[in-house]
């Protein structure tokens, strides 16, 4: 019978490959952000006289980003399917009854999970299913695991993931420093400027377009030419992952899958 390490070999390779794609994704994102893809201007509203910071131009999101993100997600989902296969092989002495149709069981809700898990891992023991049940691999059980499953289905069978830019905040310390500049000592003003705290807007403007207003200030408020505004590249699949920063999403999913592999490895002994 195969050893635990032998059974995990392909699972580990899939996770490793996902991490390599994630590192590539980080490089691609850094290259985009270093190119200064978001331009911002400011003006005063002609009626209210409120200060408005607005987006003047946005570079298109490179097509490589959803492609590489899809590679991360596919490899992570594949790692779980490989794990499911090895679990069934372990429980059946390497004689799975339906080896071509083994998938890690994830479903849209608990009822569908209970109805379909047996068919996805025919031959798995009751103890193996009990160990997987603890993970709650369905929506409202483990939303992150369910998101991985749904994002993988979208990327494989429909379209590339919906990836684009959105507003992610305005530097609150700089705004406060501007208000205090005429009444507080320079040292205090500099302390506020160094706070680096960002106020996250309720309306993030996805997909980001010229003319979007990430911040509207007070009437006759003076603009700060150095005012920092933050933007993110995000995945926006309604009902699944809405406005989640792309790199944060892929890293969280990789951590999730690694944890599942660790949790279920004792079932391979």
pLDDT digits (tens, 9 = 90+) for 94-116: 999 999 999 999 999 999 999 99
- Do residues 145 and 137 lie in contact, with contact meaning Cβ atoms separated by under 8 Å? yes
Q: Which of 15-19, 29-33, 163-167, 194-198 has the lowest mean pLDDT?
A: 194-198
Number of domains in the chain: 1
Measured between alpha carbons, how far is 49 from 109 in angstroms, rounded to an integer?
A: 51
For residue 224, the model assigns a pLDDT of: 82
The whole-chain average pLDDT of the chain stands at 93
Percent above pLDDT 70 for the chain: 91
Residue 188 has pLDDT above 60, yes or no: no
> Is the separation of the CB atoms in 58 and 37 below 8 Å?
yes
* C-beta of residue 53 within 8 angstroms of C-beta of residue 214: yes
Tokens 């809405």 belong to 242
Q: How many C-alpha atoms does 26 have within 13 Å on its Cβ side?
A: 10
232: its two tokens? 């993110």
Measured on CA atoms in the order 124, 127, 131, 137, is the torsion positive or negative? positive
* DSSP annotation string for 129-142: HHHHHTT--BTTT-
- Output the pLDDT for position 181: 62
Kindly report the pTM of this predicted structure: 0.91
Which DSSP string corresponds to 145-161? HHHHHHHHHHHHHT---
Between CA 111 and CA 118 the distance in angstroms is 13
Over 60: is that where the pLDDT of 129 sits?
yes
Task: Identify the domain containing residue 251 by its residue range.
Answer: 4-268
SS3 78: helix
Residue 155, pLDDT score: 86
CA gap 80, 55 in Å, rounded: 42
């Amino acid at each position: 019978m195969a050893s635990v390490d032998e059974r995990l070999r392909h699972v580990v390779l899939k996770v490793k490959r996902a991490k390599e794609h994630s590192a590539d994704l980080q490089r691609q994102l850094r290259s985009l952000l270093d190119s200064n893809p978001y331009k911002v201007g400011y003006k005063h509203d002609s009626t209210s006289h409120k200060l408005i910071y607005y987006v003047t131009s946005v570079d298109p999101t490179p097509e490589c980003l959803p492609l590489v993100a899809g590679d991360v997600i596919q490899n992570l989902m594949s790692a779980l399917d490989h794990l499911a296969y090895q679990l069934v092989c372990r429980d059946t002495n390497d004689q799975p009854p339906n080896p071509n149709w083994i998938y890690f069981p994830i479903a849209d809700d608990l009822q569908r999970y209970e109805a379909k898990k047996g068919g996805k891992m025919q031959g798995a023991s009751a103890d193996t299913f009990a160990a997987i049940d603890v993970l709650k691999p369905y929506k409202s059980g483990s939303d992150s695991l369910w998101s991985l499953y749904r994002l993988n289905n979208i990327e494989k069978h429909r379209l590339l993931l919906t990836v684009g830019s959105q507003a992610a905040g305005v530097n609150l310390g700089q705004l406060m420093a501007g208000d205090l500049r005429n009444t507080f000592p320079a040292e205090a003003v500099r302390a506020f400027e160094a706070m680096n705290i960002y106020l996250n807007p309720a309306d993030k403007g996805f997909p980001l377009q010229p003319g979007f207003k990430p911040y509207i200030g007070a009437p006759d408020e003076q603009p700060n030419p150095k005012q920092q505004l933050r933007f993110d590249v995000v995945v926006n699949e309604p009902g699944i992952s809405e406005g989640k920063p792309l790199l944060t999403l892929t890293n969280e999913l990789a951590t999730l899958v690694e944890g599942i592999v660790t949790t279920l490895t004792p079932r391979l002994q």
